[in-house]
Amino acid sequence: MLNGKTAIITGASRGIGAAVARKLSSLGADTALVCAGKIDLAEAVSAECRSLGVRSKSYLCDVADFQAAKELVGQVKKDFGGVDLLVNNAGITRDGLILTMSEADFDAVLDVNLKGAFHMIRHCAPLFLRQKRGAIVNLSSVAGLMGNPGQGNYAASKAGLIGLTKTVARELASRGITCNAVAPGFIDTDMTRALPLDREELLKTIPLGRVGTPEEVAQAVVFLLEAGYITGEVLRVDGGIAM
Ligand code: NAP
């Protein structure tokens, strides 16, 4: 069902986005990999995808920039002949307690995590509507469901994505277009490796007793991209943290 489709995956140079790109390629989809600066990493992932016999290209684009996102979608359409799937995975953190968080850190996280997804959906939706098909998955987080001390900006962006997901799902459902979210818990990537955490204490908060892998999140993303009768859903991949 994903065979021959074209997917845009933002934040695909590493971590969860790279795992989604690899998984989609293994299922026969062509992939447009988007990153913010680490184009060498994105190109390496793209080469892995091509080695699986599908088309893949890497692109530099700051998804927080409305116009740049528009140009990106236009370029992908030109390069691949269309766009069928969108995975809004690009994300950043700028952690800090509310009492000390700067306006710049709040804005930066909202601009990439939430507005970036809006920009990509805004520019892909007209294509999806014309085709009367398309599927979107947004990467939210358990922080958006539960809150997390030190992550007011991040949790707000991820909770905002859930509202955006459900609204887009309702607005586009009549044309057969789905929009869902995945809410990962603690996944082993650069993002979490950068956190100053006591790993043993952390594992005590996870019912399954371990952190997740990017591949486990990718599996859920691909499931939702394929599932034609699920829309507006938020699927946790969190080892039970937020149950
Ligand atoms: P990561 O390893 O830190 O990778 C972030 C990716 O986003 C990179 O490809 C980066 O590109 C890209 N990116 C950052 N800013 C961008 C921008 N302005 N425009 C375009 N691309 C941009 O992240 P991850 O851990 O895989 O997380 C992926 C998503 O899952 C994020 O939305 C994150 O919030 C969410 N999530 C992660 C976890 C977790 O435990 N890891 C948990 C819950 C939710 P460059 O490489 O070029 O910088």
pLDDT surpassing 90 at residue 194: no
Q: What sign for the dihedral angle of Cα 69, 74, 15, 2?
A: positive
Structure tokens at 8: 């845009």
The CA–CA distances, whole Å, from 138 to 48, 102, 135, 198, 217 equal: 24, 26, 10, 29, 12
Mean pLDDT computed over every residue of the chain: 97
- Please give the distance, rounded to the nearest whole angstrom, from the Cα atom of residue 24 to the centre of ligand 1: 18
Condensed to tens digits (0 to 9), the pLDDT of residues 60-110 reads 999 999 999 999 999 999 999 999 999 999 999 999 999 999 999 999 999
CA 65 to chain centre: 17
Task: Answer yes or no: is the C-beta of 85 below 6 A from any ligand 1 atom.
Answer: no
- What pLDDT does 57 receive? 98
Pocket probe for ligand 1: among 35, 72, 137, 165, the residue whose CB has the most ligand atoms within 8 Å is: 35
Q: Which of 106, 118, 128, 154 is catalytic?
A: 154
Rounded CA gap, 171 and 187, in Å?
31
- What pLDDT does 105 receive? 98
pLDDT surpassing 90 at residue 164: yes
- Please give the distance, rounded to the nearest whole angstrom, from the Cα atom of residue 177 to the centre of ligand 1: 25
Q: How long is the chain?
A: 243
CATH number of 6-237: 3.40.50.720
- Please give the distance, rounded to the nearest whole angstrom, from the Cα atom of residue 43 to the centre of ligand 1: 16
Is this structure's pTM higher than 0.85? yes
Least confident of 7-11, 37-41, 191-195: 191-195
* Secondary element (H or E) of residue 226: helix 214-226
Rounded CA gap, 243 and 233, in Å?
15
Across the chain, which distance is largest between two alpha carbons, in Å? 51
- What pLDDT does 202 receive? 92
Structure tokens at 155: 């949790």
Rounded CA gap, 132 and 68, in Å?
25
Residue found by looking up tokens 């892995």 in the block: 48
pLDDT surpassing 90 at residue 1: no
- What pLDDT does 162 receive? 99
- What pLDDT does 158 receive? 99
The answer to whether residue 154 is catalytic is yes
Across the range 162-190, mean pLDDT stands at 98
% of residues, the chain, pLDDT over 90: 97
